[in-house]
Structures are given as C-alpha cells and as structure tokens.
Amino acid sequence: MKRIFITLIGLLFFGVASAQLQKPVTWSYAAKRVNTKEAIVYFKATIDKSWHIYSTMQPEGGPMKTSFSFEPSKDFMLLGKVTEPKPVRKFEKVFDMDVLYFSNSVVFSQRVKVIGKNAVVKGELEFMVCTNSECLPPEEISFSIPIK
C-alpha cells in the first residue's frame, strides 16, 4: 500500500512539474523611433510548432484573446491601439464559433508619442496558448521596453 501511495505522489509531482515546464511561447520586445517625437513598440511571440495564440480581436464567448495593458507614464502617450497582422480565422467545434489565431510567430505593435528623454514603456500582456487538443492556463507577462 505504501508503494502505491509513493508511486501516485511521484506521478502527481511529475505531472505538475511537466505542466510548469511547458512554455510554448517566447516573447521578445523592441522599440524603433519613427522620428524625434514618435516610436513603435514591438511585441514578438515565437510560438512552438502545433501551438497557437489568439488575436487581440478574438470575439467574446471563445478562447481568451491576447491583451495588452500599459502603465501610465508622463514620458510617453499611446497613439491608437495595439495592431496586429491578419489572423487565421477557423471554426472550432469546442467553442462553437470562428476563432482568430496566430501560429509560428506574430508581431504586435503599439505606436507611442515620446515625451520624455528616457521613455520606458511598461505594462503587462496576457495570452492563452492552445493546440488542437489542449490549452494551457492564461499567462500574464510583464514588459519594460526602453525607447532610445
């Protein structure tokens, strides 16, 4: 009986550990000045094969859309909303609706008006990653992107 209990605990630990190790999306960031007063901040998601993340325009009632929130700052001002390339649109039975997603990689961008000399765009992004058969819990990631 003791052996069965130890085996079950070991399997439970292994399952939790492997779920925590699964990171199918890697994020990278950059900023590029358009001119002395404006810049574009880039958020690149590199997505492992067979996984995908959802568009910022994903309608309610389906998977969680990718979202961005920015910390207020006196050094910059947001110009418009986050933009993205055209997503793939596909009907998914599980959600009983069309979903909008990206595979392999995607670059989101946000235009900003630069006010301060040493502007740093800070905030959080939230996303959900899925395959055709499983989804991981939504994840929040903080970012800090200097504009040079």
May I ask the CATH class of domain 24-146? mainly beta
Alpha helices in 1-148 (DSSP H): 2-21
Give the per-residue pLDDT at 20. 54
118-142: per-residue pLDDT in tens? Answer: 899 999 999 999 998 899 999 999 9
CB 116 within 8 A of CB 63: no
**Token couple for 105:** 């990689």
| Distance from C-alpha of 24 to C-alpha of 89, rounded to nearest angstrom | 21
Q: Is the dihedral of CA 70, 72, 74, 80 positive or negative?
A: positive
Flag the least confident range among 2-11, 63-72, 95-104.
2-11
